[in-house]
């Protein structure tokens, strides 16, 4: 256990993170609030997390010298995004506590291995992935069952926020999409009749203790999370319990340590289907900073440092709006500042900007969380904020 503000090896306890984006920035804030020093490794010298950490190492994630420096500075190390090289985490784990484990990150980085893990867990949880087929060769392409079409072709690696995906309706479209992706390993998922999407964030300690945050109801637009709603009865109680139980089963079967998010589809007939997992805090959990007594980043710090994991409690209804780069441009494409003053005048509005120097369409620049005593009041203020910012209502 690494206690806050304790001296380890004659120096203040320090927590490290691979990755300098907004998730790393919020982890650094949470670590510093407990008195830890922090060190960030990221290739971008202007990274949001690197700019606020006590120490910043600008280097590639595979740079051996940089990894040695990170291990020398930090007593325990985590990651803030799923595509950090798993081998870098494995190298760091030779001398330092690392959470999540490299083996778990490697599974989350590969949709084929991820689907296989979900299928194994389904025997206990009853929550399976969508019907799918693995495509790694022309022979696999020819053998795809017709029942999987129409479907969504997803690259097995390096896909996020809708990238590396293509919707296909026919065998000809499937073949064209696979070749356009370069013939890389892919997964074809059957297109299912969706009613909505949700996600569950859990934290698991090295001692096997697991705590869960409330189930988040999510709306995506263009493959990017747009709105998260979390309040009592935002989803049926039975569905909430099933999603949380399935997520705990997934994390336990992995032997995971750290914070993990699992995303689900809810079908029109009410069935729950597991979609994918992220071995880190998640965009849909940002509301926890304002609406819960322990945020997902507090939990990430605690799992990394070996501190106790009490069950987090939500004290306010919450709706979170993602703030993408297009909000920084007017209808003619000219740069502008969004109208923050009237937004911040709304009751319960909490603005979080990530310190990114350049806005561009689709880039996550920040988020707005609206909290309040009940779902109706929060929804009213969130819709007012969306109208002010030019975000489509939901």
The annotated binding site for ATP is made up of: 111, 154, 159-165, 189-192, 197, 220, 275-276
**Integer Cα distance of 325 and 137 in angstroms:** 38
**Bridge-based pairing state of the strands 14-18 and 76-79:** parallel
**Integer Cα distance of 372 and 41 in angstroms:** 37
Residue stretches of the annotated binding site: 111, 154, 159-165, 189-192, 197, 220, 275-276
Token output for 325: 């780069």
Could you write out the DSSP letters of every residue in 230-291?
Answer: ESTTSS-HHHHHHHHHHHHHHHHHHT--EEEEEEEEEETTS-EEEEEEESS--GGGTTHHHH
Give the CA distances from residue 41 to residues 52, 66, 283, 358, in Å, rounded to whole numbers and listed in that order.
12, 8, 21, 21
Please, are residues 239 and 272 in contact by the beta-carbon 8 Å criterion?
Answer: yes
Closest CA to 304 of 61, 13, 9, 12: 13
Q: Encode 49-68: b = buried (16+ Cβ within 10 Å), e = exposed.
A: bbbbbbbbbbbebebeebbe
**Integer Cα distance of 28 and 127 in angstroms:** 34
């Amino acid at each position: 256990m690494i206690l806050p503000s304790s001296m380890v090896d004659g120096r203040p306890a320090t927590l490290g993170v691979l990755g300098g984006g907004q998730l790393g920035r919020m982890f650094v804030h949470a670590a510093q609030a407990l008195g830890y020093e922090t060190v960030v490794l990221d290739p971008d010298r202007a990274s949001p997390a690197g700019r606020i950490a006590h120490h910043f190492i600008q280097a590639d994630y595979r740079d051996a010298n940089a990894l040695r420096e990170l291990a020398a500075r930090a007593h325990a190390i985590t990651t803030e995004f799923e595509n950090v090289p798993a081998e870098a985490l494995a190298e760091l784990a030779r001398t330092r506590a690392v959470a999540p484990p490299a083996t778990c990150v490697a599974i989350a980085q590969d949709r084929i291995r991820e689907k296989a893990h979900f299928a194994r867990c389904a025997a206990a949880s009853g929550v399976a992935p969508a019907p799918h087929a693995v495509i790694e060769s022309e022979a696999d392409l020819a053998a795809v069952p017709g029942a999987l079409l129409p479907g969504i072709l997803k690259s097995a690696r390096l896909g996020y926020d809708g990238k590396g995906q293509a919707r296909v309706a026919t065998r000809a479209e499937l073949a064209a999409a696979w070749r356009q992706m370069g013939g890389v390993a892919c997964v074809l998922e059957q297109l299912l009749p969706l009613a909505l999407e949700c996600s569950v964030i859990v934290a698991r300690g090295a001692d096997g203790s697991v705590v869960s945050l409330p189930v988040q109801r999510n709306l995506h637009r263009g493959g990017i999370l747009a709105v998260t709603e979390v309040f009592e009865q935002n989803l049926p109680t039975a569905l909430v319990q099933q999603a949380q139980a399935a997520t705990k089963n997934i994390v336990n079967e992995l032997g995971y340590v750290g914070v993990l998010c699992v995303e689900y589809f809810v079908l029109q007939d009410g069935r729950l289907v597991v979609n994918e997992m992220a071995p880190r805090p998640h965009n849909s959990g940002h509301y926890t900073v304002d609406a819960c007594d322990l945020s997902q980043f507090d939990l990430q710090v605690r799992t990394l440092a070996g501190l106790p994991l009490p069950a987090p409690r939500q004290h306010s209804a919450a709706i979170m709006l993602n703030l993408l780069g297009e909000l920084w441009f007017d209808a003619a494409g000219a740069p502008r500042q969004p109208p923050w003053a009237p937004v911040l005048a709304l009751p319960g509005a909490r603005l979080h900007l990530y310190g990114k120097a350049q806005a561009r369409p689709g880039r996550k620049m920040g988020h707005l969380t609206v909290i309040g005593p009940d779902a109706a009041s929060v929804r009213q203020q969130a819709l007012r904020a969306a109208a002010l910012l030019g975000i489509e209502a939901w």
